[in-house]
Amino acid sequence: MANIILPKKWRLSEKSVTPEEVFWNRRKFVKALGLSGLSIATFLSGTSLLGCGLKKDKLDPKAGPSGGVFEDPTDDLYPAKKNKKFLVEPLTPEKVAASYNNFYEFFPDKENVVKNSKNFQIRPWQVKVHGLVENPKTYDIDDLIRAFPLEERVYRFRCVEAWAMVVPWTGFPLSALIKAVMPKSSAKFVRFKSFLNPDQAPGQKMQPWYNWPYYEGLRMDEAMHELTMAVTGIYGHPMPKQHGAPIRIITPWKYGYKSIKSVVEIEFVKNQPRTLWNDLAPDEYSFESNVNPKVPHPRWSQATERLIDTGQRQDTLVYNGYGDSVAKLYS
């Protein structure tokens, strides 16, 4: 086991600061393989490392050059009305935001997510909403997107890796969907689950140490908060795959990994649900994960952040600048 030769990109740089790399140290890597019952040989032969094995002949004809969907059945809803209450300036250019994406289902490094998500089929798609509710419902995505009025909001976005951007999301307040299914008083948390489809998501095949599908959670009051959005579009059009099409969550006062992409299930539960990053590294990624410049990540400071377009460094704001509206949730 100790003599495995990993492809160059798989070796850890000690200075690296991305969350996934927590898990890329050799001891845990080997342990994860052992736990998942795979032999190294099976694992390495059955995966398409670094995208080399992707079949070019199976590209989705609807996938645009940047992974955008050009014939989206909800195209007519965009651009949605701007909600002027939520404005931040200046915007990060779309091209930058759309080519720098954490989406481990498709690839562990941001620059390859677009290419590796081309085959991802975002129709048909259903979202199952269930658990401790009076009206459980499985929505077809196109009905769901039309069920609640869409609006555009410009939010700041802060990844735990200390990069930041400002983007216009289109979607609806998650609270609208929550009210529609009528949670019981016993529902204290909301659990979100992303898709599982290793045939279309190479990252799910090549990284078996993640407990796919990606899962996240919020407290009920966080999920009901007016800032929390179910997002279906960005920059005035349907969301391209790399940002989490066809529907994702956005909680702008929390680190980016709480904003789960490509959601297929929303469940109302009594107890605090487990989350993928917290299960992997509980001392590095808490359930709450509110942006806080004063609480360093165990391996780096959170005092400042880097804007992905200009590279400029600026001070991190507590609750990512949304304290006026969310601090009361934590008093």
Ligand X SMILES: Nc1nc2c(c(=O)[nH]1)N[C@H]1C(S)=C(S)[C@@H](COP(=O)(O)O)O[C@H]1N2
**Residues pairing with 267 in the sheet:** 130, 191
Rg (CA), the chain: 19
Contact partner, 117, from Mo ion, ligand X, none, Cβ < 5-8 Å per class: none
Q: What is the rounded distance in angstroms from the CA atom of residue 259 to the CA atom of residue 153? A: 15
Distance of CA 230 to the CA centre of its chain: 12
Tokens of 199: 């045939």
Contact partner, 86, from Mo ion, ligand X, none, Cβ < 5-8 Å per class: none
CB atoms within 10 A of CB 53: 12
Q: What is the rounded distance in angstroms from the CA atom of residue 119 to the CA atom of residue 67? A: 9
Distance of CA 4 to the CA centre of its chain: 31
Query: Residue with the closest Cβ to ligand X?
Result: 256
Looking at the Cβ atoms of 68 and 183, the one nearer to ligand X is 68
CA angle 59, 259, 202 (to 5 degrees): 30
Report, in Å, the least distance between residue 286 CB and ligand X.
14
Looking at the Cβ atoms of 180 and 306, the one nearer to ligand X is 306
| DSSP, res 127 | E
Report, in Å, the least distance between residue 284 CB and ligand X.
12
Contact partner, 214, from ligand X, Mo ion, none, Cβ < 5-8 Å per class: ligand X
Contact partner, 259, from ligand X, Mo ion, none, Cβ < 5-8 Å per class: ligand X
Report, in Å, the least distance between residue 236 CB and ligand X.
15
Q: What is the rounded distance in angstroms from the CA atom of residue 69 to the CA atom of residue 75? A: 9
Point out which residues bind ligand X (CB under 6 A). 101-105, 159, 194, 214, 242-244, 256-257, 259-262
Contact partner, 290, from Mo ion, ligand X, none, Cβ < 5-8 Å per class: none
Report, in Å, the least distance between residue 34 CB and Mo ion.
28
**Residues pairing with 127 in the sheet:** 139
Report, in Å, the least distance between residue 73 CB and ligand X.
22
Looking at the Cβ atoms of 208 and 256, the one nearer to ligand X is 256
Point out which residues bind Mo ion (CB under 5 A). 102, 159, 256-257
